């Protein structure tokens, strides 16, 4: 009887691990953590080609730079993110983007914007009295 229990437990466990790995490879674009590069301390948007952009975002109390990012529909955007002070959040709810802005680190995530619209970027990590006003937007048209 005990052997059977162990077998069933093992089977369920392998199923969990398998579904975790499968889900991760298929659905989830996890943020990368890059080594801190002193060359990137200023916010900027770089156009690589017609449909590829790089956004170098800087979070600080209580704003994001750049605060408005204009890109054409169908673009793929690499977001690089760092902070000048405390830990901030970087959330684009409609795109399932959830990053942390950490001083001394750069996080990166890639997003494709297929539909026009205004995508709100909000800070979702409490960072002081101005936290609730800390937002920016991606304008896709
Ligand atoms: Cu920045 Cu909350």
Q: Are 134 and 127 in contact (CB under 8 A)?
A: yes
Residues 4 and 18 in one domain: yes
CB-defined site of ligand 1, < 6 Å: 59, 62, 88-89, 123, 125-127, 131, 134
Q: Whose alpha carbon is nearest atom 1 of ligand 1? A: 88
Residues 124 and 73 in one domain: yes
pLDDT tens by residue, 26-46: 655 666 666 666 657 788 999
Neighbouring residues of 66: CB distance < 8 A, sequence distance ≥ 6:
43, 44, 45, 55, 57, 136
Domain harbouring 104, CATH code: 2.60.40.420
Residues 77 and 131 in one domain: yes
Q: Report how many domains make up the chain.
A: 2
Residues 79 and 25 in one domain: no
Residues 14 and 50 in one domain: no
pLDDT tens by residue, 65-95: 999 999 999 999 999 999 988 999 999 999 9
Residues 16 and 77 in one domain: no
| Torsion angle, alpha carbons of 129, 132, 42, 86, to 10 | 50
CA–CA distance, 31 with 11 (Å, rounded to integer): 31
Q: Which domain holds residue 20?
A: 1-30
Distance 60 CA to ligand 1 centre (A): 8
Distance 51 CA to ligand 1 centre (A): 30
Taking the whole predicted model, whether its pTM rises above 0.80 is answered as no
Distance 126 CA to ligand 1 centre (A): 5
């Amino acid at each position: 009887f005990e052997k059977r229990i162990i077998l069933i437990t093992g089977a369920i466990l392998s199923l969990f691990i398998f579904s975790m790995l499968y889900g991760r490879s298929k659905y989830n674009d996890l943020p990368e953590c890059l080594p801190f590069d002193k060359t990137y301390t200023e916010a900027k948007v770089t156009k690589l080609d017609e449909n590829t952009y790089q956004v170098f975002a800087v979070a600080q109390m209580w704003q994001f730079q750049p605060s408005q990012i204009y890109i054409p529909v169908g673009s793929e955007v690499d977001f690089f993110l760092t902070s000048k002070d405390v830990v901030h959040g970087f959330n684009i709810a409609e795109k399932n983007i959830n990053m942390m802005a950490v001083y001394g680190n750069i996080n990166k995530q890639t997003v494709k914007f297929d539909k026009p619209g205004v995508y709100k970027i909000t800070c979702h990590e409490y960072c002081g009295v101005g936290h609730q006003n800390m937002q920016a937007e991606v304008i896709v048209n």
